[in-house]
């Protein structure tokens, strides 16, 4: 004779209660932009374009505080609420970073009054009664293997190493042929994020938003000026104006290498007479 654990019984009870509550849930707008407005957010033009996009692969190069995490959170939550059995994974170099868009999504979910009841609600995972889930986890290859999803959101992707991305993150959406969103401030000129951004692959929809392009900072220039005065120029250019810079450990700068290559194009090959030696 087999016995059912108390935890399993409680979980099944919550699932049954959630299904009953779903019949009384509030309507969720089909339009993701209207969904954003339902949580008192009026998306900027670039955010609205992403929210309504059906591209499978999206890469966002964004300055600090421009709203990339908010955009990803809104889009992921909307799909999880409106598409049954939809799996979302938020990932980043660290769990704490991955939790930023995840907890933003949870905040929206709660402010809406939990329109689809939760079976389980934790600081790293949400399981809904419609079988959709949202998870937050670090982009570490040894811990990410085996997880599948329909929507992969990689925050601060420029800081994630290539083995983790190619070995653990991309395989998570291989079977579902799901959506991928890479978003980050720039960092190194090398690695999958920089290479994806600079590639001419039409499969990727690319969005660049600097603080000077942001409608919010255009309306609040005092905040932008305070930032500019408080950080070094190189840091402001990288983190807020989205300029890729040389690796800190590099011996030669990217511009020096390019200059050397250009100079080499004008050099003539050295030839030797047969009896030179």
Q: Which domains does the chain have, with CATH numbers?
A: 33-206 (3.40.50.300)
- DSSP symbol at 64: T
User: What would the pLDDT profile of 202-251 be if each residue is shown by its tens digit?
Assistant: 899 999 999 999 999 999 888 888 888 999 999 999 999 999 987 654 44
Share of the chain above pLDDT 90, in %: 63
User: What would the pLDDT profile of 87-119 be if each residue is shown by its tens digit?
Assistant: 999 999 999 999 999 999 999 999 999 999 999
- DSSP symbol at 31: S
- DSSP symbol at 276: -
Which pTM does this prediction carry? Answer: 0.79
Q: How far, in Å, are 21, 22, 39, 66, 125 from residue 25 at the CA level? A: 6, 5, 16, 32, 21
Q: Are 117 and 21 in contact (CB under 8 A)?
A: yes
């Amino acid at each position: 004779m087999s016995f059912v654990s108390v935890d399993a019984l409680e979980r099944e009870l919550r699932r049954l209660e959630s299904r009953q509550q779903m019949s009384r849930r509030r309507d969720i707008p089909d339009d993701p932009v209207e969904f954003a407005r339902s949580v008192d957010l009026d998306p900027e033009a670039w955010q609205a374009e992403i929210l309504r996009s059906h591209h499978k692969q999206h890469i966002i190069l964004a300055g600090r505080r421009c709203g990339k995490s908010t955009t990803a959170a809104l889009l992921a939550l909307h799909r999880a609420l409106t598409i049954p059995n939809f799996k979302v994974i938020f990932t980043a170099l660290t769990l704490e970073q991955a939790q930023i868009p995840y907890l933003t999504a949870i905040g929206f979910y709660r402010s809406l009054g939990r329109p689809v009841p939760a079976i389980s609600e934790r600081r790293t995972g949400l399981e809904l009664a419609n079988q959709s889930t949202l998870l937050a986890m670090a982009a570490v290859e040894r811990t990410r293997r085996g997880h599948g999803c329909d929507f992969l959101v990689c925050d601060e992707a420029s800081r994630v190493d290539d083995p983790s991305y190619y070995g653990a993150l991309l395989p998570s959406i291989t079977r579902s042929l799901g959506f991928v969103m890479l978003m980050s401030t720039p960092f190194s000129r090398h690695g999958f994020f920089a290479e994806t951004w600079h590639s001419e692959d039409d499969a990727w929809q690319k969005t660049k938003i600097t603080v000077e392009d942001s409608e919010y900072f255009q309306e609040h220039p005092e905040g932008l000026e305070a930032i500019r005065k408080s950080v070094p120029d190189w840091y402001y250019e990288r983190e807020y104006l989205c300029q890729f810079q040389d690796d800190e450990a590099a011996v030669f700068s990217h511009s020096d290498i390019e200059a050397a290559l250009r100079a080499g194009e004008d050099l003539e090959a050295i030839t030797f007479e047969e009896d030179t030696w």
